[in-house]
Amino acid sequence: MNGSIGNWLLLIGAFFLLAGLLAKSGLFGWFGHLPGDIHIKREGFQLYFPITTMIVVSAVLSLIISFVRKFFG
Helix (H, G, I), strand (E, B) or coil at 47: strand
Q: Give the helix ranges, DSSP H, for 26-50.
A: none
Query: What's the pLDDT at 47?
Result: 94
- Quote the CA–CA distance of 21 and 66 in Å, as a whole number: 23
pLDDT in tens, the chain (73 residues): 566 788 888 888 998 999 889 888 888 777 778 899 999 999 999 999 999 999 998 999 899 889 888 877 6
- Quote the CA–CA distance of 31 and 53 in Å, as a whole number: 7
What DSSP character marks residue 44?
T
